[in-house]
Structure 1
């Protein structure tokens, strides 16, 4: 990890299911070779067909794993650990029914209690109107829900002619509206202080110099002490390199599997045509060696991701 910040989280279930699939496919490939050596053509066809299906399931579950990562706020590109643009409380805060909404990690709270699903849905619905803005065009307030009140730099904003004003005569500047847009996007995506969804210290962990950090009062702490400001800033600027590495090596391996599966389909077609038997199974065995290699390689990568990532 070196002198940097790293994000750690459990691998998605899709990756474990894909691992099961490729292990079983190696077993069925072995059984197919045994069937060929014994001239049991029906069993050869069954086991080779099973191998192709399991190979396809490996690919399916890999993509399911990627989808689980993305749904958890873990993206392959433009990925950071800590939210910077549109971070709640930096410029904007909101009141809901007279009480300020607060952020603690990824939880949105009111009076120290997490917002109910109904209240948070209302919050998302209200902020949705600010989630997109046209260049150099002022934001339009189409949903003037009186339950919500927007504060900018500790001052309540005024809604006038469907636009946001600092006071009766000063309209909110474009750059500040963009900050509100980023905040709205974060709220819509259920993003508090972190891009990854879940509870800090439970669903995901952040490390610095190989040591797990704590998060208190929206500040990172290292060995029981709050990190100095320059490291707090460094953390916000740090890209999630661990996740980029995870996507890179797993996708490269997946491409190898895709090409191998094409060859496997060819071998399976040959097995259904009766080409393989006790006297002719060399290409079948060579294909199995390559398939087993890819399976072992995936297991190695998985263990690397679990224990090193």
Structure 2
């Protein structure tokens, strides 16, 4: 019945029906993204918000999807001119540009991960196991201190060789346990010494012993393990990597915060204890939204590309002509919409995020 009905429809009616179905899908997708954008703005309003630069591959993917829209327009013109060979080439190029968009999106995600920006809502600030709250290190007779995400000795940033050595030290404390003890800690007492609340800790019989002779308890060993993870990952006061104010920014109620002496300032005033505790407990919701919004768009691109395989096949089989290119034009409308949607999302996240 359906095939008979479609056969009896005029080409104009077929095109109208298909376009209406596409427009209905576009409205639904627009509502979903409008909801996400609204949620982003509302969530940002009264929260601590991390803002990071957009990855370069995202801009490359933008150029690719713009080019793909141009080649799609040209492919429709080729179909109208009954130029089958040119149509096949142009729609294949469109498909390949779409694949390129997907590839560079994933490259962008990789760049974000390298910066310490993850989809899971990590905290903005390091709280548990923060360097200096309980534990510090003395490395080769000199105190190691943290400022932002930088590790310093005598006021100077440590070099890459020292960074590697410090991370190796942190790794040795990852399995700190009171019952099992700590076996095989290398270089303790010669290359480095652990300090607990500024007091040196002894390493005796595979146990960490405080100056009063007490073995470090389970709760403090938990703190030590968390501290060791931060040391291992080269993490200072922030989960995201880089320099505060240059590689990332933190805002509160849309006002940019300053950072000095290992604490946050709003203008010239240090954050109140209440706000500082709130900042310490704040998750990096901004980055989670960034991943959700962009990845949801990417999924629509991937599903459209899967459908476009059929479009490419039809172009080679000569099924698109001046008189019958309804499917090609309908696919084009959807593809152009996804391109325009990405540009909107890019601009929104670029200027808001």
Superposition TM-score tier, normalisation by shorter sequence: over 0.9
- Report the 3-state secondary structure (helix = DSSP H, G, I; strand = E; otherwise coil) of the residue aligned with 1:75: coil
**Residue 240 (str. 1) matches residue 284 (str. 2):** yes
CA distance in structure 1 between the aligned counterparts of 2:294 and 2:181, rounded to whole angstroms: 44
**Residue 264 (str. 1) matches residue 308 (str. 2):** yes
CA 192–89 in structure 1, closer or farther in 2 if over 3 Å, else same:
same
Q: Deviations over 1:90-111 (max 9, x none)?
A: 1100011111101010000011
* 1:249 aligned residue: 293
**Residue 34 (str. 1) matches residue 77 (str. 2):** yes
User: After the TM superposition, which segments of 4 or more aligned residues of structure 1 sit over 4 Å from their partners?
Assistant: 133-136
**Residue 151 (str. 1) matches residue 195 (str. 2):** yes
* 1:46 aligned residue: 89
**Residue 283 (str. 1) matches residue 327 (str. 2):** yes
> Cα distance, 1:133 vs. partner?
5.0
CA distance in structure 1 between the aligned counterparts of 2:275 and 2:77, rounded to whole angstroms: 60
* 1:140 aligned residue: 183
> Cα distance, 1:142 vs. partner?
2.9
* 1:223 aligned residue: 267
CA distance in structure 2 between the aligned counterparts of 1:287 and 1:14, rounded to whole angstroms: 26
CA 4–129 in structure 1, closer or farther in 2 if over 3 Å, else same:
same
> Cα distance, 1:33 vs. partner?
1.1
CA distance in structure 2 between the aligned counterparts of 1:102 and 1:202, rounded to whole angstroms: 21
**Residue 118 (str. 1) matches residue 150 (str. 2):** no
TM-score by length of 2: 0.84
CA distance in structure 2 between the aligned counterparts of 1:19 and 1:132, rounded to whole angstroms: 45
* 1:101 aligned residue: 144
Q: Which has the higher helix share?
A: 2
Q: Of the candidates 86, 100, 117, which is equivalent to residue 57 of structure 1?
A: 100
Contact between 1:136 and 1:174, CA under 8 Å: does it hold in 2? no
* 2:345 aligned residue: 301
> Cα distance, 1:286 vs. partner?
0.6
**Residue 77 (str. 1) matches residue 120 (str. 2):** yes
CA 2–136 in structure 1, closer or farther in 2 if over 3 Å, else same:
farther
CA distance in structure 2 between the aligned counterparts of 1:134 and 1:289, rounded to whole angstroms: 61
Contact between 1:8 and 1:205, CA under 8 Å: does it hold in 2? yes
**Residue 201 (str. 1) matches residue 248 (str. 2):** no
CA 211–126 in structure 1, closer or farther in 2 if over 3 Å, else same:
same
CA distance in structure 2 between the aligned counterparts of 1:135 and 1:49, rounded to whole angstroms: 63
Structure number, greater radius of gyration: 2
Contact between 1:5 and 1:206, CA under 8 Å: does it hold in 2? yes
Contact between 2:181 and 2:206, CA under 8 Å: does it hold in 1? no
CA distance in structure 2 between the aligned counterparts of 1:140 and 1:55, rounded to whole angstroms: 54
TM-score by length of 1: 0.96
Contact between 1:141 and 1:159, CA under 8 Å: does it hold in 2? no
- Report the 3-state secondary structure (helix = DSSP H, G, I; strand = E; otherwise coil) of the residue aligned with 1:109: strand
- Report the 3-state secondary structure (helix = DSSP H, G, I; strand = E; otherwise coil) of the residue aligned with 1:54: helix
> Cα distance, 1:308 vs. partner?
1.8
* 1:3 aligned residue: 46
How many correspondences in the alignment? 309
